Structure 1
Amino acid sequence: MSDHVYKQIELVGSSAVSSDDAIRRALERARSTLRNMDWFEVTAVRGHLHDGKVAHWQVALKLGVRLEEKDGGRQ
């Protein structure tokens, strides 16, 4: 395995469906503008209640983006 260097990016995904869906939405959106996404870590899970029931999920993530070599080659 090669040595890698990563940049961490913080994201917050939201969903009315589930916490998993909030994570999926955040990663799908990030994928549209970033490359070399290698890992994520959930740092917080929050929810909004309406009439005592979960109405909305919000999940904070750290995303690890692998930095490319200086010459532009992929690792």
Structure 2
Amino acid sequence: MSTTVKIIELVGESDKGWEDAVKNAVWEASKTIDNITGVEVLNMTADVKDGKVFDYKVNIQVAFPVHENR
């Protein structure tokens, strides 16, 4: 039996850092997606005001198995 995996792209945000933005995106996605098995960070950006970073953003892809009996 082979496994098929679906990959979707998400954007996460945080005012603490890029790692926190990834965690936020995965946490929110896990509320509606079962069995997330991996994440890939595609891009990291941030907003800057008055010389300070105040909003971190990440584009990520999350992978999860496709269930055969649905």
Q: TM-score, normalised by structure 2?
A: 0.91
* Structure-to-structure mapping, 1:22-41, within 5 angstroms: 22-41=21-40
* Structure-to-structure mapping, 1:1-75, within 5 angstroms: 3-69=2-68, 71=69
Aligned length: 70
Structure 1 residue runs of 5 or longer lacking an equivalent are none
Contact 1:45 1:58 in 2 (8 A): yes
Moved over 4 A (4+): none
CA distance in 1 between partners of 2:2 and 2:17 (Å): 35
Secondary structure at the counterpart of residue 37 of structure 2: strand
CA root-mean-square deviation = 1.3
**Identity value in percent:** 30
Name the larger-Rg structure. 1
